[in-house]
Amino acid sequence: MTGIIHAAADLLLGGRCPGCGTPGWRLCAPCRGVLGAPVPGFVRRDPSPPLFPVTVAGADYEPILRRVLTAFKEDQVLSAGPLLGQRLGLAVAVLLARQGRAGEVYQLVPMPSVAAAIRRRGLDCTRALARTAARFLAGHAGLRVPVAALLRHRGAVIDQAGLAAAERWQNLAGALVARAGPPGRTAILVDDVTTTGATLAEAHRALLAAGVPVLGAAVVAATVRRSPGRGALAIEQGGGAPHQVPDEAGPAAAPGPRSRGP
């Protein structure tokens, strides 16, 4: 019956699954299964930009996820937000399970969107995903990790498209500035996608300059290695299952001493 309803919606309203184009109002079951299946893994950079943080990706940036994320950001397909935010939350959970330190209090720091993009989309997409991830962590892992918008752009940067890894690093050097925010909190950088790692590295630099310690970063997805010369990414699986993060009371208490690397 659900399939009939979704097909009727396509005929009447033109609705289609943002992942595969199947008629319907939202993500179809097969696409939801594909997006919900990956195990988060640590991202390995080669070459690595200076200050590239320890990073966990919720999934590879494969075609279905790419289409869904684009639909969420550019076409206001907000129904995709919960699943994308869950991917991000799982990546944060793995980062905390492997890298978290006992007694530290954490906050999610989203990468800033440029003002023009927010106006065009009507939404700060990265901050929205960070908030969804925070709700997921509170509801499924018992961790309260607030979202803190500590980063902003210092000025304009040229379009990153088509730039090689080293060119991206140079383009973004000094592009972000951070405020200190609440004292006593360690930052976890969050973003939708990482490619060369230049943006996360610059955010790491800006936070350290403001006196904010950084545990690492979590992203919805990372591009996999295609051409080493382009500075693409690889994901190392086996980063730890989300259930390793214990049910803790209180804000962002780390689950205890963990391995300091993947």
Q: What is the CA radius of gyration of the chain?
A: 18
156: pLDDT confidence band, cut at 50, 70 and 90?
Answer: low
Tell me the residue range of the domain where 209 lies.
Answer: 37-155+168-222
- The yes-or-no verdict on residue 121 having pLDDT over 50 is yes
- The yes-or-no verdict on residue 248 having pLDDT over 70 is no
252: pLDDT confidence band, cut at 50, 70 and 90?
Answer: very low
- The yes-or-no verdict on residue 210 having pLDDT over 90 is yes
Whether residues 66 and 81 share a domain: the answer is: yes
Residue 224 is predicted with a pLDDT of 76
Q: Where do the H-state alpha helices sit in 2-62? A: 2-13, 29-36
Paired tokens of 205: 């630099």
Across the chain, mean pLDDT equals 79
Burial class (CB in 10 A: 0-12, 13-18, 19+), 24: buried
Residues 6+ apart with CB under 8 A from 141: 93, 242, 245, 246, 247
Whether residues 143 and 28 share a domain: the answer is: no
Residue 122 is predicted with a pLDDT of 83
Residue 171 is predicted with a pLDDT of 65
**14-24 tens-digit pLDDT:** 578 988 888 87
- The 3-state DSSP class for residue 219 equals strand
Handedness of CA 100, 112, 155, 71 (dihedral sign): positive
- The yes-or-no verdict on residue 259 having pLDDT over 70 is no
Whether residues 26 and 136 share a domain: the answer is: no
Query: What is the value of pTM for the model shown?
Result: 0.78
- Which of 50, 51, 68 is closest to 59 using CA atoms? 68
Handedness of CA 241, 124, 19, 10 (dihedral sign): positive
**Who wins on pLDDT, 5 or 164?**
164
- CB atoms under 10 Å from CB of 95, counted, come to 28
Residue 37 is predicted with a pLDDT of 84
Question: How many Å from the N-terminal Cα to the C-terminal Cα in the chain?
Answer: 46
Which of 25-34, 85-94, 155-164: highest mean pLDDT?
A: 85-94
Residue 107 is predicted with a pLDDT of 98
- Alpha carbon 89 to chain centroid distance? 8
- The 3-state DSSP class for residue 141 equals coil
Whether residues 12 and 56 share a domain: the answer is: no
Identify the CATH number of the domain in which residue 51 sits: 3.40.50
Whether residues 3 and 51 share a domain: the answer is: no
**35-78 tens-digit pLDDT:** 888 889 999 877 788 899 999 999 999 999 999 999 999 888 88
Domain count, the chain: 2
Residue 220 and residue 29 in contact, taking contact as beta carbons nearer than 8 Å: no
The CA-CA-CA angle for residues 77, 79, 81, to 5°, reads 90
Is 161 within a domain? no
160: pLDDT confidence band, cut at 50, 70 and 90?
Answer: low
